[in-house]
C-alpha cells in the first residue's frame, strides 16, 4: 500500500498524451467490435506504460447520461491496454444496469477511462478529498466503488459521497460509522476530446 502522503505521481502510472489517446482508440474499437460480435482489437504491440499491469474503469456516456461503466479495482495479470479493452467491452455489453450497446448508438457515445492508483485504507474521514479521491466501501461481503469524478459531477460534500458509496455497496448509508471499511484511491481520468488536457 502507498503511504497516505504519497503524491499522485507516485501512485498512478505515468501516462503521456499519446498513450492516453491510444487507450481511447483501443477502448472505442473494443466497443465498436463488441456491438458487431467481432474479436477484440489487438493490444499485443503496445509498449511502455500500456504494457504494465494497472487497474482501470471504462465509462460510456450517451450525451450526459451514463450508458455503462465497468472496471477492475486492483491490477490483474493483464497489461493496462488489455485491461482497457476488456473493460470497454464489458461496459458496452455486460453492465447489468443497462441493455447492450447497439451499433446504431455508437456515434452518440463518448468514452472515458479512469486509471486507478492503489487502494489506501481510510483511518479518518478527513483523509478523503472530494474531487481527488475515489472510494471503496467493504462490509459483510458487500463492496461498492465510486470514481472520483462522481462526487464532483453530483456536487456532493464528503459525508454525502461516503454515504452514497455505502449505498452503492448495498449497505445502509451510515455503514461507514458502524464498522464498514473505507479505502480511497486516486485516478487519472481522461476522455475522448480531452486526453491532452489532463
Domains of the chain: 12-116 (3.30.700.20), 120-187 (3.30.1490.150)
Q: Residue 86: which of 110, 108, 62, 53 has the closest Cα?
A: 53
The position carrying cell 445502509 is: 172
Q: Residue 183: which of 100, 127, 109, 105 has the closest Cα?
A: 127
Query: How does pLDDT run across 16-68, given as a tens digit for each residue?
Result: 999 999 999 999 999 999 999 999 999 999 999 999 999 999 999 999 899 99
pLDDT of residue 174: 97
Query: How does pLDDT run across 82-114, given as a tens digit for each residue?
Result: 999 999 999 999 999 999 999 999 999 999 999
Split at pLDDT 50, 70, 90, the class of 11 is low
> If you average pLDDT over every residue of the chain, what do you get?
91
Per-residue pLDDT at 71 exceeds 60? yes
**CB of 139 closer than 8 Å to CB of 181:** yes
**CB of 154 closer than 8 Å to CB of 147:** no
pLDDT of residue 5: 33
pLDDT of residue 14: 85
Distance set, CA 172 to CA 7, 167, 168 (Å): 32, 6, 10
pLDDT of residue 1: 29
Distance set, CA 194 to CA 24, 35, 68, 146, 148 (Å): 11, 25, 19, 21, 17
Q: What is the mean pLDDT of residues 67-72?
A: 97
Q: What is the mean pLDDT of residues 177-193?
A: 95
The CA distance from 139 to 121, in Å, is 14
Q: What is the mean pLDDT of residues 150-172?
A: 97
Specify the pTM. 0.90
pLDDT of residue 193: 73
**CB of 148 closer than 8 Å to CB of 131:** yes
Amino acid at each position: 500500500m502507498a503511504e497516505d502522503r504519497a503524491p499522485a505521481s507516485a501512485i498512478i502510472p505515468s501516462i503521456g498524451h499519446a498513450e492516453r489517446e491510444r487507450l481511447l482508440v483501443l477502448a472505442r474499437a473494443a466497443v465498436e467490435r463488441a456491438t458487431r460480435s467481432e474479436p477484440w482489437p489487438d493490444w499485443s504491440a503496445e509498449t511502455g506504460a500500456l504494457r504494465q499491469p494497472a487497474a482501470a474503469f471504462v465509462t460510456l456516456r450517451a450525451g450526459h447520461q451514463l450508458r455503462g461503466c465497468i472496471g477492475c479495482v486492483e491490477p490483474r495479470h493483464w497489461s493496462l491496454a488489455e485491461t482497457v479493452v476488456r473493460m470497454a467491452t464489458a461496459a458496452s455489453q455486460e453492465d447489468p444496469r443497462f441493455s447492450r450497446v447497439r451499433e446504431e448508438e455508437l456515434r452518440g457515445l463518448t468514452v472515458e477511462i479512469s486509471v486507478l492508483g492503489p487502494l489506501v485504507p481510510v483511518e479518518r474521514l478527513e483523509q478523503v478529498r472530494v474531487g481527488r479521491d475515489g472510494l471503496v466501501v467493504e462490509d459483510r461481503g458487500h463492496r461498492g466503488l465510486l470514481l472520483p469524478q462522481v462526487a464532483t459531477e453530483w456536487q456532493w460534500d464528503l459525508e454525502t459521497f461516503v454515504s452514497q458509496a455505502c449505498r452503492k455497496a448495498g449497505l445502509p448509508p451510515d455503514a461507514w460509522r458502524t464498522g464498514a471499511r473505507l479505502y480511497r484511491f486516486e485516478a487519472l481520468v481522461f476522455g475522448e476530446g480531452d486526453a491532452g488536457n489532463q
